[in-house]
Structure 1
C-alpha cells in the first residue's frame, strides 16, 4: 500500500513529524514501512507562468517563441512541446532554476534567438513517466485556470510529497485504505480522525428506480449490491489534487469519472465500478454465476472464457463485468459518456480469489475483495463517489440506490480484563490505561470495574478473540514499554534428543564421504510425484496428497520421494559444465493412507542422494574413478556400519531404475530403501549422464538403532582363509549363495565376502563365476585342518544341490 504523506494529513494531524519519523512510528506499532520515497526532488525557482503569446520560431519549424508572464517578470522562452499554446498556464523554470538530476537552467540562444528559461513537462519535474496521464505524456503540463501566476509548483503538483510503502499483511486489510491508515496513525499519535464529506444533493424530482433495478441470483457470493445513477456528467480531466494523489499512490489518472472511482477505492478501501449507462442497454442489473464456456471481453480487450465458478455482473443478457476483478469493454466509460451507472458491492473473497487465479487478472479492486472489506463502508463509499461526481463532473445524482441487501454488518464483541492483560504482557497497566487505549483505537466498549466488553468495528475484521485484542493493546501501549523479564522456573541444560543426535550423525557421515547437502522443495508436480518412490512407501501411500490451493502446477503435491528435486539440482549444475557431482538431502516425504485426506499425512524422514561423474573411492586415493553401483553401495554400507546396523541388498526391478543395476536395502527382513543407477530412458529425458542414487528410510533406521555401545572381544585364536568359486546360472543372486554359505558354515565361518564375478570367454552362455572368500575362526580354540575341510565340503555340497552349481576349477 502506497500512502501519500500529504493526502494522509487531510485526515490526521501529523504535527511536525517528518515522513521518516512517521514511518518509524508505524513500523514500531506493527505494520512495516518498507521505505519512504519522495515524489520528486525539490524544484528551485519553478513557478506557474502564463503564456501571453505563442508564435512560430522564425528560424525553426518545430519550435515556438513564447512570451511568458511569471508574476514578477516576463520571460521570452523557446519551447518545442507540441501542445504549447497561447493562454495556457504552465510550469516555468526560470534562469538559475535547478531541476531533478541537477539540471541547471541558463539563458541560451536557440537558432539565433535568446531563450530565458524552460517550460516543463511533468517528467522534467521529476514525476515517473508510467504515472503521467497519456494525453500529456509527450508534452508540457497545463495548469487549471484557477492556478495563480508566479506560484511555486511544488505544492500545486504535490512534488513536495513523500510516499510511504506499507507492507500490509493479509490480516490487516483495513490498512489498504487511506481511512484505515488514518485510524492507525490516529491511534499511534492519539489524534482524532477527520472523516470525508458524504453529503450529496440528490435530485428531488428524480429517483434511481426510474433507471435501474437489481437482481442477485447468487446471494452467497454477493450479499450486497448497490447501484447509483448519475446523469449528464461531463467527462474532463480530474481536479489537480485528485490527479496528484492518484499518481502518488501509483495510479495513472484517466478522466474525472474513472479517477473518482479509483480515488474512493484508495480512500475507503471499497472498490467501485462505473458503467456507461447508455451502453448498458438494460434497466436491470442481474448478478449470477457464469455459464460454462460463456465469454466476455474485459477492459484490457482480452476475451475471457468463463466457468460456473465465476461471478458476473450482467444486463440480464450478457456479462458486463467480472465481479470484483474487472469491468467489460462493452460498457467502458469514454469521453462520449453522459450517464453513469455506479456499482458498489460486497463480493465473497473466495469467489474473487478463484476468478483471479483462473483468469490471471489482478487489480487494486480484486486485491481488496480477496482480503475482505468493511461491510459498513460499502454504501458510504458509493455516496462519497456520487458527491465527487456531482462536484467535479457536474453530474445530477438520482435519489436513492437500487439495492439487494442481505449483508451482515454486525460487530464482534471481545471480552477482556485488566488483570488478564497484565498477566500476559508482564505490565502494570491500570483500567484507566486500557480505557485510553480503546479511545485511541476508536473502539466502543462497556466497562465493569476491571472488565471490558469491547465492540470491535467492522473495519477491523482481524480482531475476533481476546488474543487479537491483547495484541492491539500491546501495540498501542508500545512494544518498547513492555518490561524485560526472564522466564521463571528451574534451569535445564540444553541437549540434542536421541533423534536429533542420530540425524546429525547420519548428516556428518554423508558429508564426510564428500557429498554436498541440498535443501529442496517439499512440493512437486504430477510427473515427479510418481518417480523414484521407494517400494515400502508405495505400499503405504494410497494416493499423493494434493494441495487445496497450490501456487502453481509445479508445486501441487506433497512429495513421496526426495530424489526428483536432487536430480533437478544435478541437471542444473551439469548444464553449467560441472561434471563430478554428489548431492544429498535429509528431508521428509508425506504419506497418506486415504484417498480423500481427512487428517495430516504421516511424515517420514529419509536420506537420499545422487552421484555422477568421477569420485574418490577412498579419501587417501589420489585418482578418481567413475561412479558405479559398488561405489554407492559402499557409501550406504559405510553408513550402516557407522550406526552399527546390519543390512543386506537384494537385486530388484523398480520403475525408473536400471533393471540390472538396482537393489533394495533390507534390514531385519524389511525393505528400508534402495540403491542403483537411473534408467537410461530417465537419464536421457533429464539430460543426465550415468547417475546413481540411494534412498534410505531413516525412521526405520532410527527405530532399529541401539544407543548402547557394542563390544566384540578381540579373537585369541588364529583364523584360516579359504577361497571358492562357483559356476552359477546368471539369474541366481550371488547374495543368496553367500547367505547359504554363512548358514551351513556356522559357527566356524566368521565372514563371507564376494571378491570376483566373471562372465565371458571359457564360460557357457547364461553362466557366471562368483568367487567367495571364507574366513574360518573359532572363539575358543585353534581350528584343525580336518575341521575346516569338513565344513568346506559341506558348503560345496549344499550350494551345488540347492543352486545346481559346481565349483570352478
Structure 2
C-alpha cells in the first residue's frame, strides 16, 4: 500500500511529524514501512511554461521550434521533439540549470543550428513511471490545465513535492488498504482525531429507482448491492490533484468517472464500478452465478469462459461484469457516456478469489474483497463517489439509491482482563492506561472489575479473540517500552540440552577434521540390515515397503555410508570421508514399536593427504580413522576412559579391527572393511567406525585437573621387549604403567620388529618410558630402582625378555 504523506494530511493532523518520523512510528507499532520515497528528490528548476509560438524546425522534420513564456522578463526559445507540442499549451519546462532524475543537467544548446534554452518535459522525464502516465500523454509531453499559472513550480502542480510511504501489510491488516484505514492507525499512534471527507448529498428531483432495478439471486455471495444513478456527466480528464494522488498510489489515470471510482477505492478501501447506463441495454441489474460455458469480454479485451462458481453482474440476459474483479467491455464508460450507474457492493472474499485465480486477474478491487472490506462503508463510499462525479464530471445525482440488503454483520465483542494483558506483556499497566489505548484506537470499551469488554469496529475484522486485544495494547503502548525479562521455570525455552550440546560439538569436530555429514536412508534391504550391527537382533520389516531395497529398518549406519562411498568413487571422487549421527532400530519383544538408538558412524577411503608439488601422498589407514575418533573423545573429555581391543567382526578385516571400550564396556568398533566387501563395492581400502552415541553423550568426563608445568628435568629410558606374537602391546603397556608408580609419567610404543634374527613366533616391541618428579630432580639411582621394578614386573606377568 502506497500512502501519500500530503494526502494523509486530509484525514489526520500531521503537524510536527515528518514523513520519515511517521514511517518510524508506524513501523514500531507493528506495520512495517518498507521505504519513504521523496518524489521530487534530485529534481529542481522545473516550472510551468506557456507555449506562445510553435513552428517547424527549419533543419529537422521531427523537431519543433517553440517560443515559451516561463514567467521571466522575456520568453525563451526551446527546441522540442514531442509530437503533441502546440501553441497555447501549458507545459512543464526544465529551465537552463535545472536538474532532472539521474542527475541530468539542462544546459544551453544548439540543435541543428537553432538555439534551445531549456527542455519541455514529459512526465517520464520527471521520474514518473511510463505505466502510470495517462494514455494521451504516454508518447509526448504533459499538458497542464489552462488555469495553471505560468512560472509556478511544476512539481507542486504534479504532486511531486510529496513523500510516499510504502507499507508492507500482512494479510490480516486489510483495514490499512485505504487512506482512511491508515488515518485511523496514524491517529491512534499520534493521539489525534480522524477527519472524514465531507459529502454533499444534494440530489435531483428524479429517483434512481425510476432508472434501474436490482435483483440478487446469489445472496450468500452478495448480501449487499447498492446502485446509484448519475445523469448528465461529461467525460473528461479528472482534476490534476486527483491524477497526482492516483499516480502516487500506483494507479494510472483514465477519465474523471473511472478515476473517481479508483480514488474512492484508495480513500475508503471500497471497490466501486461505473457502468454506462445506455450500454447496459436493460433497466435491470441481476447478480447471479454464471452458467457453465457462459462468456464475457472484460475491459482488457480478453474473452473469458465462465463457470458456475464465478459470480457475475448481468443485465438480466448477459454478463456485464465479473463481480469484484473486472467490468465488461460491453458496459464500459466511454467518451460518449452521459449517464452512469455506480455500483457499490459487498462481495464475499471466497467467490471473488475463485474468479480472480481462475482467470489470472489480480486487481486492486479483487485484492480488497479477498481480504475483506468494511460493510459499513459501502453506502458511504457510493455517496462520496456520486458527490465527486457531480463536482468533477458535471453530473446530476438522482435521489436515493437502489439496494438489495440481506447483510447481517454485527461488530465483534471481545473481553480481556487487565491481569491477562500484564501477564502476557510483562507490564504493570493500569486500567486507565489500557482504556486510553482502546480510546485512541476508537474502540468502544466498557470496564468492570478490571475486565475490558471491547466492541470492535467492523473495519477491524482481524480482531476476534482476547490475544488480538493484547496485541493492540502492546502495539500502541510500544514494543520498545515492553520490559525485558528472562523466562522462569525448570526448562528455559530455546536452550540446548547437554545431550544436544555434545551432538553439536561432535559434528563440529568431525567437520573440522575434514569429514562431510551424510543423511542416509533409515530403510535398507534384508541382506544389509544386519551387517555391521553393534547388537545382533532380528531386523524389522515394513508392512508396505516401497521396494525390497528399502524394506527393512536398519540396525547399523555403516552399510548406507558404504553405498554413498560407492556412488561417489564411481564418479572419480578420489577421497571421501563421511560421518552420520543417526538412528538405528532394534526390535523389542516388550513393545510394539522398535527401540530407537542414536549411533555415530563414519567411513573413509582414498587419499587422506595429497601434495603433488612435494610428491607426498598419504592414504587413509587405521590410525587416521583412530585419530579422527580420538579427537572426538578428547573433545568430550573421555580420552582417559577409552580403550581399544582387537576384535573379529564378520564384515571387517580380521587383523585390522578393534572394539572400542568406554569404562570397560564395549560401545563400538573401528577398522577396515573386509576385502571381499570392498571388492563387491569397487572400493579401495576403506575404514569405518560405529559407536553408540548415547553411551558417549551419557558418560561423565572426569573433572579437569590443573598440573603445573614441571620445572625439573625428566629422564627417558627405552626398552625393547621380545614377546610371543600373540601378546598384545596394550597388555604390556598396562603392566609397565602399574609397576612404574608415581615416577613413571608416560609410556608409549615406538617400534615393532618381526624381521631377521628374530626367533620364530616372537616379535620385538619397543617402549619409551619417561620418569620425572614435579617437586625435584631425580637421581639415576632412583630411576634405575623404579626401572628395574618395571622390568621385573613385565618379565613376570608377560614372559617378556629384554632384547639384546
TM-score by length of 2: 0.65
Correspondence 1:128-277 to 2 at 5 A: 128-217=129-218, 219-277=219-277
Query: CA separation in 2, counterparts of 1:245 and 1:89?
Result: 20
Decide whether the 8 Å contact of 1:437 with 1:477 is kept in 2: yes
Decide whether the 8 Å contact of 1:214 with 1:402 is kept in 2: no
Query: CA separation in 1, counterparts of 2:482 and 2:607?
Result: 59
1:394-446 per-position Cα deviation (integer Å, ceiling 9, x unaligned): 12222222222122231111223334433332333332222322221111222
- The answer on 1:458 being equivalent to 2:461 is no
**Map of 1:638 onto structure 2:** none
Query: CA separation in 2, counterparts of 1:146 and 1:94?
Result: 21
Query: CA separation in 2, counterparts of 1:533 and 1:265?
Result: 58
Residues 402 and 216 from structure 1, CA distance in 2 versus in 1: closer, same or farther, beyond 3 angstroms?
Answer: farther
- The answer on 1:85 being equivalent to 2:79 is no
Decide whether the 8 Å contact of 2:277 with 2:341 is kept in 1: yes
**Map of 1:305 onto structure 2:** 305
Q: Secondary structure at the match of 1:92?
A: strand
Structure 1 gaps of 5+ residues are 521-530, 544-572, 589-603, 626-647, 651-689, 691-700, 710-716, 720-809
**Map of 2:386 onto structure 1:** 386
1:449 Cα offset (Å) = 5.9
Residues 539 and 302 from structure 1, CA distance in 2 versus in 1: closer, same or farther, beyond 3 angstroms?
Answer: farther
CA RMSD, 1 decimal:
5.0
Query: CA separation in 2, counterparts of 1:307 and 1:538?
Result: 50
Residues 70 and 582 from structure 1, CA distance in 2 versus in 1: closer, same or farther, beyond 3 angstroms?
Answer: farther
Correspondence 1:749-788 to 2 at 5 A: none
Query: CA separation in 2, counterparts of 1:97 and 1:494?
Result: 59
1:61 Cα offset (Å) = 3.5
**Map of 2:36 onto structure 1:** 36
Q: Secondary structure at the match of 2:205?
A: strand
When structure 1 is superposed on structure 2, of 343-352 and 30-39 the one drifting more is 343-352
Residues 513 and 482 from structure 1, CA distance in 2 versus in 1: closer, same or farther, beyond 3 angstroms?
Answer: closer
**Map of 2:317 onto structure 1:** 317
Query: CA separation in 2, counterparts of 1:443 and 1:487?
Result: 33
Correspondence 1:680-759 to 2 at 5 A: none
1:669-713 per-position Cα deviation (integer Å, ceiling 9, x unaligned): xxxxxxxxxxxxxxxxxxxxx9xxxxxxxxxx999999689xxxx
Residues 478 and 513 from structure 1, CA distance in 2 versus in 1: closer, same or farther, beyond 3 angstroms?
Answer: closer
**Map of 1:434 onto structure 2:** 434
Query: CA separation in 1, counterparts of 2:598 and 2:157?
Result: 65
**Map of 1:599 onto structure 2:** none
**Map of 1:103 onto structure 2:** 104
**Map of 2:126 onto structure 1:** 125
Q: Secondary structure at the match of 1:71?
A: coil
Query: CA separation in 1, counterparts of 2:28 and 2:388?
Result: 35
Decide whether the 8 Å contact of 2:261 with 2:385 is kept in 1: yes
Residues 110 and 200 from structure 1, CA distance in 2 versus in 1: closer, same or farther, beyond 3 angstroms?
Answer: same
Decide whether the 8 Å contact of 1:213 with 1:285 is kept in 2: yes
Correspondence 1:297-696 to 2 at 5 A: 297-448=297-448, 450-489=450-489, 496=496, 500=500, 616=606
Decide whether the 8 Å contact of 1:615 with 1:624 is kept in 2: no
Decide whether the 8 Å contact of 2:95 with 2:117 is kept in 1: yes
Decide whether the 8 Å contact of 1:228 with 1:341 is kept in 2: yes
Structure 2 gaps of 5+ residues are 526-538, 547-567, 584-595, 620-648, 652-681, 683-691, 701-723, 727-804
Query: CA separation in 2, counterparts of 1:164 and 1:153?
Result: 22
1:14-41 per-position Cα deviation (integer Å, ceiling 9, x unaligned): 1132221111110001000111112233
Larger radius of gyration: 2
Decide whether the 8 Å contact of 2:99 with 2:106 is kept in 1: yes
Residues 68 and 496 from structure 1, CA distance in 2 versus in 1: closer, same or farther, beyond 3 angstroms?
Answer: closer
When structure 1 is superposed on structure 2, of 7-16 and 43-52 the one drifting more is 43-52
Residues 93 and 419 from structure 1, CA distance in 2 versus in 1: closer, same or farther, beyond 3 angstroms?
Answer: same
1:210 Cα offset (Å) = 2.5
Decide whether the 8 Å contact of 1:256 with 1:392 is kept in 2: yes
Decide whether the 8 Å contact of 1:5 with 1:163 is kept in 2: yes
Query: CA separation in 1, counterparts of 2:545 and 2:456?
Result: 46
Residues 447 and 119 from structure 1, CA distance in 2 versus in 1: closer, same or farther, beyond 3 angstroms?
Answer: same
Query: CA separation in 2, counterparts of 1:383 and 1:463?
Result: 28
Query: CA separation in 2, counterparts of 1:582 and 1:228?
Result: 77
**Map of 2:7 onto structure 1:** 7
1:353 Cα offset (Å) = 2.2
Query: CA separation in 1, counterparts of 2:85 and 2:452?
Result: 65
Q: Secondary structure at the match of 2:463?
A: coil
Residues 355 and 498 from structure 1, CA distance in 2 versus in 1: closer, same or farther, beyond 3 angstroms?
Answer: farther
TM-score by length of 1: 0.65
Residues 165 and 494 from structure 1, CA distance in 2 versus in 1: closer, same or farther, beyond 3 angstroms?
Answer: closer
1:32-69 per-position Cα deviation (integer Å, ceiling 9, x unaligned): 01111122335433222222332333444333333322
Query: CA separation in 2, counterparts of 1:330 and 1:585?
Result: 67
When structure 1 is superposed on structure 2, of 164-173 and 254-263 the one drifting more is 254-263
Tell me the matched-pair count: 610
**Map of 1:295 onto structure 2:** 295
1:542 Cα offset (Å) = 12
**Map of 1:61 onto structure 2:** 61
1:340 Cα offset (Å) = 1.9
1:95 Cα offset (Å) = 2.6
1:532 Cα offset (Å) = 12
Q: Secondary structure at the match of 2:486?
A: coil
1:528-547 per-position Cα deviation (integer Å, ceiling 9, x unaligned): xxx9998999967899xxxx
Decide whether the 8 Å contact of 1:414 with 1:454 is kept in 2: yes
Decide whether the 8 Å contact of 2:282 with 2:316 is kept in 1: yes
Q: Secondary structure at the match of 1:246?
A: helix
**Map of 1:528 onto structure 2:** none
Query: CA separation in 1, counterparts of 2:300 and 2:84?
Result: 28
Query: CA separation in 1, counterparts of 2:190 and 2:440?
Result: 8
